[in-house]
């Protein structure tokens, strides 16, 4: 049953899906403290319920931009390799079943998304790129490591 349960969200106007089993929570972040000398997609550190999250700007990671000018908002919280992360998303629409499960990518997608998209998930007649949060803390296709 958990293999068909997904969080549906958007990043840079692109519809995305994340397996629910990867997610601990979705939260609205407060202040993010910048970290000197880190990659541009690492926005900084944020406090959440007495713990520290490393905040990853998923849009900046995909498109290679410096997202530090964007306002932080919603974050998908996950533990990867015994470290807590907050992954910034633009919006979240639902957590629900996708009875069709994961489908192969059909047609073309933006080349920037290619290393991150692991398939497609259909919801309400719209295709969502399936993302794995571990790919945003390590090189896509490799074992996730703490940043």
The per-residue pLDDT for range 43-78, each reduced to its tens digit, is: 999 999 889 999 999 999 999 887 665 666 899 999
Average pLDDT of the residues in 27-52: 92
| Distance of alpha carbon 129 from alpha carbon 123, whole angstroms | 11
Say which CATH topology domain 2-136 has. Answer: OB fold (Dihydrolipoamide Acetyltransferase, E2P) (2.40.50)
User: What distances in angstroms separate CA 29 from CA 34, 67, 76, 100, 125, one per listed residue?
Assistant: 14, 15, 10, 32, 31
Distant-in-sequence, close-in-space partners of 48: CB < 8 Å, separation ≥ 6: 27, 29, 77, 84, 86
User: Model's pTM, two decimal places?
Assistant: 0.89
pLDDT of residue 140: 54
pLDDT at 145 over 60: no
Chain-centre distance of CA 16, in angstroms? 8
pLDDT in tens, 82-141: 999 999 999 999 999 998 899 999 888 999 999 999 999 999 889 999 999 999 997 554
């Amino acid at each position: 049953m958990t293999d068909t349960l997904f969080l549906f969200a958007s990043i840079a106007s692109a519809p995305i899906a994340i397996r629910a089993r990867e997610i601990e929570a979705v939260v609205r972040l407060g202040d993010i403290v910048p970290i000197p000398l880190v990659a541009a997609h690492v926005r900084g550190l944020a406090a959440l319920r007495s713990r520290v999250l490393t905040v990853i700007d998923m849009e900046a990671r995909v498109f290679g931009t410096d997202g530090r000018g964007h306002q932080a908002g919603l974050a998908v919280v996950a533990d990867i390799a015994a470290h807590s992360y907050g992954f910034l998303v633009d919006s979240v629409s639902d957590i629900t079943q996708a009875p069709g499960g994961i489908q192969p990518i059909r047609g073309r997608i933006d080349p920037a998304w290619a290393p991150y998209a692991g398939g497609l998930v259909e919801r309400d007649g719209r295709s969502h790129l399936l993302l794995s949060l571990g790919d945003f803390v390590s090189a896509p296709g490799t074992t996730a490591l703490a940043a």
